[in-house]
């Protein structure tokens, strides 16, 4: 059996991740299944196998978490984020706590991971897949 490090994500796994992740389209599992023309169980299977191959991209962020993370990476304050996203400060704090639990973005000590998402790169990222 091949070592997990030798495995790569399949195109279908990448598509499921892009459609499901809040850093991209942020669709529900049901909508991902409809868009891909497969069952919800198949989507969950693709994501489960993708997690085995590339665990560093999991857990996936929600759309709101991705938006807050992008603003945090730009150095924006909690109050600025709340104002821009029309959220109370308490909700922004809860989202940041969720990001900390997922160990993503500005809370990760690896600068390469910290800078991997930027809103202005969306079109380029989508075109590459």
**If you search the block for the tokens 């399949």, which residue do you land on?**
10
Instruction: Give the model confidence (pLDDT) of 46-100 as tens digits.
Output: 999 998 988 878 888 888 988 898 898 888 999 999 999 999 999 999 999 988 8
Span 18-22, average pLDDT: 88
Where in the chain are the domains?
4-57, 63-120
CA-CA distance, 6 to 115, in Å (whole number)? 25
Q: Which two tokens stand for residue 112?
A: 């390469």
Query: How many angstroms separate the Cα of 56 from the Cα of each of 31, 81, 83, 101, 104?
Result: 24, 26, 31, 14, 9
Q: Which helix (H) or strand (E) holds 127?
A: helix 122-128
Prediction pTM value: 0.61
In DSSP notation, 47-115 reads HHHHHHH-GGG-SPPPHHHHHHHHHHHTT--HHHHHHHHT--HHHHHHHHHHHHHHT-GGGSS-HHHHT
- Per-residue pLDDT, 108: 47
For the 4-57 domain, the top CATH level (class) is: mainly alpha
**DSSP code for 23:** T
- Span 118-128, pLDDT tens digits: 555 555 444 44
63-120 is a CATH 1.10.3470 domain = no
**Mean pLDDT, range 10-15, rounded to an integer:** 92
Same fold, 4-57 and 63-120: yes
Q: How far apart are CA 108 and CA 110, in angstroms?
A: 6
Q: What is the pLDDT of residue 122?
A: 52
């Amino acid at each position: 059996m091949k070592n997990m490090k030798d495995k790569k994500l399949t195109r279908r796994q990448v598509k499921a991740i892009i459609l499901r992740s809040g850093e991209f389209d942020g669709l529900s599992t049901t909508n991902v299944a409809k868009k891909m023309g497969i069952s919800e169980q198949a989507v969950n299977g693709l994501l489960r196998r993708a997690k085995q191959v590339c665990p560093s991209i999991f857990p996936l962020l929600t759309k709101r978490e991705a938006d807050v993370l992008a603003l945090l990476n730009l150095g924006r304050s909690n109050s600025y984020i709340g104002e821009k996203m029309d959220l109370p400060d308490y909700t922004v704090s809860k989202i940041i706590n969720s990001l900390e639990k997922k160990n993503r973005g500005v809370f990760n000590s690896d600068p390469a991971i910290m800078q991997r998402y930027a809103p202005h790169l969306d079109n380029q990222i989508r075109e590459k897949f």
